Amino acid sequence: MSTLLKQDPASLTTASVDSPLSLSQMQTPRDDPVGGIERRARLSRREFEHEYSLPRRPVILTDATASWAARRWNLASLRERAGHREIEYRGALAKVRFGDLIDAIESSDPKSPAPYGRNIHVFRDLPELADDIRPRLAYCQPDWKSTRLLPKHFGFENGLEEMFIGGRGAKFPGLHVDYWGMDAFISQLHGEKEVLVCAPDQTPFLHTDPDDPLSCPIDDFDHPDLERFPLFAQAQPIRLTLQPGETLFCPNGWWHTTAMPGVSITVVTAQWCRGNWRQLIEDYVRTNRATRRVKTALVANYLRAVGVALTLRDRLWLGL
Ligand X SMILES: O=C(O)CCC(=O)C(=O)O
Beta strands in the chain (DSSP E): 39-40, 59-61, 86-87, 96-97, 117-121, 161-166, 183-190, 193-198, 238-242, 247-250, 255-259, 264-271
Cβ closer to ligand X: 89 or 144?
A: 89
CA distance 178 to 285: 15
The answer to the question of residue 52 lying near ligand X (CB under 6 A) is: no
The residue within the footprint of ligand X, chosen from 70, 256, 277, 310 (CB under 6 A), is 256
Q: How far is the CB of 166 from Fe ion (least distance, A)?
A: 14
Overall size of the chain counted in residues: 320
The residue within the footprint of ligand X, chosen from 48, 52, 98, 164 (CB under 6 A), is 164
Q: CA end-to-end span of the chain, whole Å?
A: 45
Enumerate residues 6+ apart whose C-beta is below 8 A from 285.
Answer: 296, 297, 300
- Using the rule CB under 5 A, give the single segment among 81-89, 130-138, 173-181, 273-281 that binds Fe ion: 173-181
Q: How far is the CB of 164 from ligand X (least distance, A)?
A: 4
The answer to the question of residue 266 lying near ligand X (CB under 6 A) is: yes
Cβ closer to Fe ion: 260 or 299?
A: 260
Count residues near ligand X (CB under 6 A): 9
DSSP-derived secondary structure for 49-69: IIIIITTT--EEESSTTTT-G
What totals of helices (H) and strands (E) does the chain contain, helices first?
7, 12
Q: How far is the CB of 214 from Fe ion (least distance, A)?
A: 9
The answer to the question of residue 161 lying near Fe ion (CB under 5 A) is: no
The answer to the question of residue 178 lying near Fe ion (CB under 5 A) is: yes
Cβ closer to ligand X: 25 or 252?
A: 252
The residue within the footprint of ligand X, chosen from 49, 178, 183, 192 (CB under 6 A), is 178
Enumerate residues 6+ apart whose C-beta is below 8 A from 269.
Answer: 136, 137, 140, 159, 160, 161, 184, 185, 187
The answer to the question of residue 271 lying near ligand X (CB under 6 A) is: no
Q: Is the Cα torsion angle 199, 194, 94, 86 positive or negative in sign?
A: negative
- Using the rule CB under 6 A, give the single segment among 73-81, 98-106, 122-130, 178-186 that binds ligand X: 178-186
The answer to the question of residue 129 lying near ligand X (CB under 6 A) is: no
Q: Which does 283 bind (CB under 5 to 8 A by kind): Fe ion, ligand X, none?
A: none
Enumerate residues 6+ apart whose C-beta is below 8 A from 193.
Answer: 186, 241, 242, 258, 259, 260, 264, 266
The answer to the question of residue 268 lying near ligand X (CB under 6 A) is: yes
Q: 186 has which bridge partners?
A: 248, 268
Cβ closer to Fe ion: 179 or 302?
A: 179
The answer to the question of residue 161 lying near ligand X (CB under 6 A) is: no
Count residues near Fe ion (CB under 5 A): 1
Provide the binding-site residues for Fe ion, judged by CB under 5 A: 178
Provide the binding-site residues for ligand X, judged by CB under 6 A: 164, 172, 178, 184, 186, 256, 258, 266, 268
